[in-house]
Chain A
Amino acid sequence: MTDYKNLKLIATSNPHIRSSETTRSIMLDVVIAMVPALVWAVFCFGVKALTLTVVSVVGCMFFEWLYRKLMKKPQSVGDLSAVVTGMLLAFVSPVTTPYWTILIGDFFAIVVVKQLFGGIGKNFVNPALAGRAFLLGSYAGIMTTWVDPAVNKAPLLGGAADVVTAATPLAYMKTGDMEGLKGLYSVADMFLGKTGGSLGEVSALLLIVGGVYLIWRKVINWQTPVAYIGTVAVLTFLFPKAGSSVEWMLYSLFGGGLMLGAFFMATDYATSPVTKKGQLIFGIGCGLFTVFIRYFGSYNEGVCYSIMVMNLCVALIDKYTKPTRFGVVKSDKKEAAAK
């Protein structure tokens, strides 16, 4: 007879399939994928790029730790999501941003957007983008001063007053001044990232490398970035504002934060649709809004707001792309829809 009582059986509820994948490992992959762009930023803009990113990361982790501590909730700093938020916020800010400004952005992103709504997985828009939008609304001057990387590096301390600044490619494209833009930066410059812009957005090449790494590691699906970049490519190819179609399309794709947004922002789990079909719709929506804002809006760049607007539509997209349950007959489904 088997002694059932002494058998070491542990009954647990499903899922029973285990994997070594945790929030921490996923976030670590995202951090790794961002490192090439960060190294380029340091090379391009100076050591300030690194110190600004470090300050932002430490700020995010501190606010996350502090909030969880004060609210007596389980500590969640270890899952590294705050690190990703901190890095992304620094990536979408100009390198001349003072340290105290980025800390205010950290506070808004972590405490207001993320923790007040319930912490990781419950934020309704991307925290880093919300932090950037908040900073842009509060400190428009600081957030739109772009250092000219060809002339000088950003000083470790001190603001934009001490550096030579330059207009970003998008500023030229807003006015349709393709001749001026081509005289300043070639397509290769744009692709490699020898232009002015936010800290981490300049090098399309290294961001694509990071994005491909994430897709290869199965951290993100290809649907969102491909749909996003594809939509922008098609629209800018069909409706160029100046110059030839191909040229305009390439400058549009490699200028601004499109690559950063498509690979690292629009793919945030908490604020993007669950289904692959939904992710395609999400990406197309982001692309449409980006082009609309760039063409008709008052801002030069539309990536930040387009992703935030689509973030708010995620619940709706999820609702209409819900897959049919196994075993449901088509006629049943029609009846259910008619009800």
Chain B
Amino acid sequence: MNFGRQLKEGLLTQNPVLVQVLGMCSTMAITTSIANGLGMGVSVLIILTLSNIVIAAIRKLVPDKIRIAMFIVVIAGFVTCVDLCLQAFVPAIAASLGVFIPLIVVNCIILGRAEAFAYKNGVLASAVDGICQGIGYTVVLLIMCFIRELLGAGTLNGIRIIPEQYPVGMLTLPVGGFLVLGTLIATMQWALARSKNKEESK
């Protein structure tokens, strides 16, 4: 187990959103304000870590054929916990995220990591993987929220930065989500290809 390498994978080389292109639905829908992005990112991080731990712990008891169903049951359990917690403690965020919290059940990042990592590795490594991938997801969400909220609505966390008549409203619409995400993916691929080239030329 190598925490540094897993963190690098989660943030950069295997970033769930920008490289694996998973969890697009929530990424598109909720990245219109920083508060939403943070709420969603942290929820996914917690659910991902916990479900990874449980799945890694029971992975040897579960028959291969019903593993997907089992993953979903475990994930749905944690999603319900987090959903109820959000509604109890931060009702404003729970209201603005709406249906996207329950939808984490079918978020491909969590199912993908369960299938690709937790089902094959130990409990500790899976927990670290959950944290790292969760951080990678949250960071990308926050970057997208930052760009879309600042340029699209002219505010940051509700505080007005750009006067009201200037912001490019289109960026808060779904079109803007696709544009920003596309630009980020392109930038990421460019950066990854560049660092790869550098390593090869060494």
A interface list, Cβ under 8 A from B: 100, 104, 112, 134, 137-140
Contact B179 A112 (CB under 8 A): yes
The CA-CA distance from A112 to B186 in the complex, in Å, is 13
Instruction: Output the least CB separation between B189 and chain A (Å).
Output: 13
Task: Collect the chain B residues with CB atoms within 8 Å of residue A112's CB.
Answer: 179
Task: Collect the chain A residues with CB atoms within 8 Å of residue B168's CB.
Answer: 104, 138
Query: Dominant SS at the A interface?
Result: helix
The CA-CA distance from A149 to B179 in the complex, in Å, is 37
Contact B170 A137 (CB under 8 A): yes
Cβ proximity bits B158-202 to A, threshold 8 Å, 1 near / 0 not:
000000011111110101000100000000000000000000000
Task: Collect the chain A residues with CB atoms within 8 Å of residue B167's CB.
Answer: 138
Instruction: Output the least CB separation between B154 and chain A (Å).
Output: 11
Residue of A100, A137, A139, A140 near B175 (CB, 8 A) is A137
Instruction: Output the least CB separation between B102 and chain A (Å).
Output: 30
Contact B169 A139 (CB under 8 A): yes
Instruction: Output the least CB separation between A335 and chain B (Å).
Output: 42
Instruction: Output the least CB separation between A93 and chain B (Å).
Output: 15
Instruction: Output the least CB separation between B77 and chain A (Å).
Output: 41
Q: In this complex, which of A100, A137, A138 has the most chain B Cβ atoms within 10 angstroms of its Cβ?
A: A138
Interface size class of B (residues with CB under 8 A): 10 to 19
Task: Collect the chain A residues with CB atoms within 8 Å of residue B165's CB.
Answer: 139
Contact A138 B170 (CB under 8 A): yes
Contact A137 B173 (CB under 8 A): yes
Task: Collect the chain B residues with CB atoms within 8 Å of residue A138's CB.
Answer: 167-171
CB contact list, B109-168 vs A, under 8 A: 165-168
The CA-CA distance from A104 to B170 in the complex, in Å, is 12
Instruction: Output the least CB separation between B196 and chain A (Å).
Output: 19
Q: In this complex, which of B165, B167, B179 has the most chain A Cβ atoms within 10 angstroms of its Cβ?
A: B165
Q: In this complex, which of A100, A104, A134 has the most chain B Cβ atoms within 10 angstroms of its Cβ?
A: A134
The CA-CA distance from A217 to B179 in the complex, in Å, is 39
Instruction: Output the least CB separation between B153 and chain A (Å).
Output: 11
11 A-B pairs in the complex with CB atoms less than 8 angstroms apart: A100-B166, A104-B168, A112-B179, A134-B170, A137-B170, A137-B173, A137-B175, A138-B167, A138-B168, A138-B171, A140-B169
Task: Collect the chain A residues with CB atoms within 8 Å of residue B169's CB.
Answer: 137-140
The CA-CA distance from A128 to B179 in the complex, in Å, is 18
Instruction: Output the least CB separation between A21 and chain B (Å).
Output: 35
The CA-CA distance from A104 to B175 in the complex, in Å, is 16
The CA-CA distance from A112 to B168 in the complex, in Å, is 14
The CA-CA distance from A146 to B175 in the complex, in Å, is 27
**9 closest A-B pairs (Cβ-Cβ)?**
A138-B169, A138-B170, A137-B170, A138-B168, A134-B170, A104-B168, A137-B173, A137-B169, A112-B179
Instruction: Output the least CB separation between A109 and chain B (Å).
Output: 13
Task: Collect the chain B residues with CB atoms within 8 Å of residue A104's CB.
Answer: 168
Q: In this complex, which of B166, B170, B173 has the most chain A Cβ atoms within 10 angstroms of its Cβ?
A: B170
Instruction: Output the least CB separation between A70 and chain B (Å).
Output: 12
Chain B residue at minimum C-beta to C-beta distance from A104? B168
Instruction: Output the least CB separation between B194 and chain A (Å).
Output: 14
Task: Collect the chain B residues with CB atoms within 8 Å of residue A134's CB.
Answer: 170
Chain A residue at minimum C-beta to C-beta distance from B169? A138
The CA-CA distance from A140 to B168 in the complex, in Å, is 11
Task: Collect the chain B residues with CB atoms within 8 Å of residue A140's CB.
Answer: 169
Task: Collect the chain A residues with CB atoms within 8 Å of residue B179's CB.
Answer: 112
Chain A residue at minimum C-beta to C-beta distance from B168? A138
Instruction: Output the least CB separation between A97 and chain B (Å).
Output: 12
Q: In this complex, which of A100, A104, A112, A139 has the most chain B Cβ atoms within 10 angstroms of its Cβ?
A: A139
The CA-CA distance from A219 to B149 in the complex, in Å, is 44
The CA-CA distance from A138 to B169 in the complex, in Å, is 4
Task: Collect the chain A residues with CB atoms within 8 Å of residue B175's CB.
Answer: 137
Instruction: Output the least CB separation between A256 and chain B (Å).
Output: 23
The CA-CA distance from A112 to B170 in the complex, in Å, is 14
Q: A137-B175, A138-B170 are in contact. List 14 more A-B contacts (CB 8 A).
A: A100-B166, A104-B168, A112-B179, A134-B170, A137-B169, A137-B170, A137-B173, A138-B167, A138-B168, A138-B169, A138-B171, A139-B165, A139-B169, A140-B169
